[in-house]
């Protein structure tokens, strides 16, 4: 998975050794050389391909027992957006980001979060039509509550923006302590997404008033959340652009990362879980 780096980025020792092969396949294939990490778990995936992935901790879902403070949520989102940005830079879309696929490292105080669960991952689309990226796919994959509108519509077009939408849902859940959307069907999800779009369009950052703990979110934080949750993909922030928002320049008041998000591991190795990308 792409790096979930902490404030001081380190040299990427493993990413440069991950080489795509067999171009033209539906999904990229990778071979990961020796990482020098004694905690890595070697695994044989297919003929001639070896993958090493770090042994890590539980999912973020198990740690969502209370709403996060704004500074805690900012620390988490900074890591996750960096991870998504690095992943997208490799030409890969995750397509199933949710708290269940975000791992929390061992409790050693370093605060690393790690995106995992690359089963539905796919290469970024190469076909362009009218400036939009298109990709043929089966019925939408991934958790419904984090599925972007363009996938729910079944328009068979999407790019990295679907991961950004999912991260917006994760951000709202961190702050509220509960999922942003609660609907059970694709049509109901589309309706709820359109309602949020209309509220953002007419009320701006005031759209999150009355949404429980989101009431406490500062105007800059609301701007980031609204940008991640733009209903139309071409209006949605990219992971890289989101990180440029002044909200992420604010100093967090915690002396250390939140206890529910402490982790370990190299920020580049732990953020590039290639196992499930290999068919």
The per-residue pLDDT for range 26-61, each reduced to its tens digit, is 444 333 333 344 444 444 434 444 445 565 678 999
Say if 96 falls within a structural domain.
yes
How many folded domains does the chain comprise? 1
Task: Between 259 and 191, name the one with better pLDDT.
Answer: 191
C-alpha gyration radius of the chain: 18
Bridge partner residues of 114 (DSSP)? 103
| Contact status, residue 228 vs residue 236, Cβ threshold 8 Å | yes
Find the range with the poorest average confidence among 5-19, 31-45, 94-108, 176-190: 5-19
In this structure, is residue 113 part of a structural domain? no
For tokens 């499930």, the residue is 276
Note whether residue 12 is domain-resident.
Answer: no
User: Over 50: is that where the pLDDT of 98 sits?
Assistant: yes
Domain annotation covers residue 52: no
Lookup result for tokens 């403070």: 69
Tokens encoding 72:
């805690």
36: left (phi over 0), alpha (psi -120 to 50) or beta: left
Number of other CB atoms surrounding residue 253 within 10 Å = 9
**Range(s) of the domain holding residue 138:** 57-102+119-262
Residue 189 in domain: yes
With a cut of 50, say whether residue 89 has pLDDT above it: yes
- CATH number of the domain that 124 lies in? 1.10.510.10
Q: Helix or strand or coil: residue 216?
A: helix
DSSP assignment of 110-149 equals: ---EEE---TT-EEPP--EETTEE----SSPPS-GGG--H
Instruction: Give the residue numbers marked as catalytic.
Output: 96
Q: In this predicted model, which residue has the larger pLDDT, 150 or 4? A: 150
Q: What is the 3-state secondary structure (H, E, C) of 23-34?
A: CCCCCCEEEECC
Residue 157 in any domain: the answer is: yes
In-domain check, residue 77: yes
**Tell me: the pLDDT tens digits for 150-201?**
888 876 667 899 999 999 999 999 999 999 998 778 888 888 899 888 888 8
| pLDDT surpasses 60 at 227 | yes
Per the domain annotation, does 270 fall within a domain?
no
Q: Give the tokens for residue 53.
A: 């992935």
């Amino acid at each position: 998975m792409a790096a979930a780096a902490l404030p001081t980025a380190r040299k990427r020792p493993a990413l440069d050794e991950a080489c795509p092969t067999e171009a033209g396949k539906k999904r990229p294939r990778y071979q990961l050389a020796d990482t020098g990490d004694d905690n890595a778990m070697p695994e044989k995936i297919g003929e001639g391909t070896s993958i090493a992935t770090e042994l890590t901790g539980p999912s973020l879902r198990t740690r969502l027992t209370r709403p996060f403070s704004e500074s805690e949520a900012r620390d988490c989102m900074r890591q996750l957006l960096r991870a998504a940005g690095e992943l997208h830079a490799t030409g890969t879309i995750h397509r199933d980001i949710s708290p269940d696929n975000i791992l929390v490292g061992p409790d050693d105080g370093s605060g690393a979060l790690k995106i995992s669960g690359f089963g539905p991952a796919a290469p970024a689309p190469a076909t362009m039509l009218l400036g939009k990226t298109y990709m043929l796919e089966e019925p939408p994959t991934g958790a419904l509550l984090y599925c972007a509108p363009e996938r729910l519509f079944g328009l068979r077009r999407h790019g990295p923006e679907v991961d950004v939408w999912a991260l917006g849902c994760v951000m709202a859940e961190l702050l509220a302590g509960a999922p942003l959307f609660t609907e059970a069907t694709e049509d109901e999800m589309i309706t709820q997404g359109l309602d949020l779009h209309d509220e953002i369009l007419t009320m701006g950052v005031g759209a999150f008033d009355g949404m429980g703990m989101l009431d406490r979110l500062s105007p800059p934080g609301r701007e980031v959340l609204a940008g991640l949750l733009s209903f139309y993909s071409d209006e949605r922030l990219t992971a890289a652009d989101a990180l440029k928002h002044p909200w992420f320049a604010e100093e967090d008041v915690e002396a250390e990362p939140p206890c529910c998000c402490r982790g370990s591991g190299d920020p580049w190795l732990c953020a590039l879980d290639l196992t499930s990308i290999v068919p």
